[in-house]
Amino acid sequence: MATDDDKKPAEGAPESPPLEPIVKKKMVEGDHAGAHGGAWKIALADMMTAMMAFFLLMWLLGATTQDQRKSIAEYFKPTSQSNVRMSTLAGPGGIGGGNSLMDPDGFPNTAKRTSFMERDTPQSEAGQTKDNGTSKNELNDKNPSELSEEERQKIAAEADKKNFDKLEQAVREKIQENPQLDKIKDQVKFIREKEGLRIEVIDKADFSMFSLGTARMQGRAETLIQEVAKSLIGMPNKVAVRGHTDSLAYDDGVRSNWSLSGQRAESTRRIMAGVGLPPSQFAKIEGVADSAPYIPENPADPRNRRISITVLYQDTTAASKNNSE
């Protein structure tokens, strides 16, 4: 039987150190796992994609014309609402098919020059016919320095014809829209001649553009001239203004029919310049008295009193050839 003496360590043996209490520490982490996760990357990617789409849209709006934007909008319409063959438009037309979205050949309407060397007016595919073995598109796509003299004249003549047609239509519409001008619509004549498009504003027995013996233009006539001038703003063509009188002699000791017609032409020029027609667009201002009557068989006819505004051809050589054909 063991005694207390047996439980005592033997002499010389080292004593065991006292046991320390065991302490357990429980760590509770805060709820911030989201900051170290990947959710923010998805949100950032979505925001960057939206910004890229926005800036691409802004760039497209600034880099394309109204007709090109219309063509792009036409492309995104459902096929059932579009009369255009989608296989010929820009964008994917099947696996690996279609043209680039920014390829001009992919639009339903291609651009055509309206001024001498510009491309800004659409022309339908039906109008892209060939003439003398050269299509209009081929002429339009050429570098201006590569054009021959004949091709350059052809482009100028086509642009002038289109510009004249638009100008005449615009002036007629403005006259019809204004009840005051509609009363004198019969006094406005459009005549194609070798120099260009001549717009005649003619007097008659009960209508006179100017007060008797003066260069002061009456109200309705001034409004009409202003509308004509507004339609001319932006056109590349020069303008010539000519004043006419009838054969009734006028001489107050200072002025004659010659000087009076010249002053009326200058008065017309001032009115046109007053609405924004630049001085550089005027080519000639002159008065010819009764030397070029509108009614040759009756030089005293009131209709011989008139103002002629001629929109000149850009290329006189091409104009002469065009009129001779």
Which domains are assigned to the chain?
Answer: 110-147 (no CATH), 153-324 (3.30.1330.60)
pLDDT at 128: 43
32: part of which helix (H) or strand (E)? none
Specify the length of the chain in residues.
325
Quote the radius of gyration of the chain (alpha carbons, Å): 41
Tell the residue number behind the tokens 């800036």, with chain if given: 55
- 23-37 as b/e: b if 16+ CB within 10 A: eeeeeeeeeeeeeee
State the pLDDT at residue 143. 59
How far, in Å, CA of 277 to CA of 296, rounded? 32
Would the pTM of this model clear 0.95, i.e. be above it? no
pLDDT at residue 21, as a whole number: 75
Q: What is the pLDDT of residue 265?
A: 95
Provide the 8-state DSSP code for 65: -
User: Would you write out the chain's pLDDT as a tens digit for each of its 325 residues?
Assistant: 555 555 555 565 556 666 777 777 766 665 555 555 678 888 899 999 999 999 888 888 888 887 787 777 777 776 544 444 444 445 555 444 555 545 555 544 444 444 444 434 444 444 444 444 444 455 455 556 666 777 777 888 888 889 899 999 999 998 888 888 888 888 899 999 989 999 999 998 778 899 888 899 988 899 999 999 999 998 989 999 999 999 888 777 677 889 999 999 999 999 999 999 999 999 999 999 999 999 999 999 989 999 999 999 987 654 555 555 4
Give which of 299, 282, 303 is closest to 290, Cα–Cα. Answer: 299
Confidence at residue 79, expressed as pLDDT on a 0 to 100 scale: 54
Cα-flanking dihedrals φ and ψ of residue 21, to 5°? -70, 145
Q: What pLDDT does residue 28 have?
A: 62
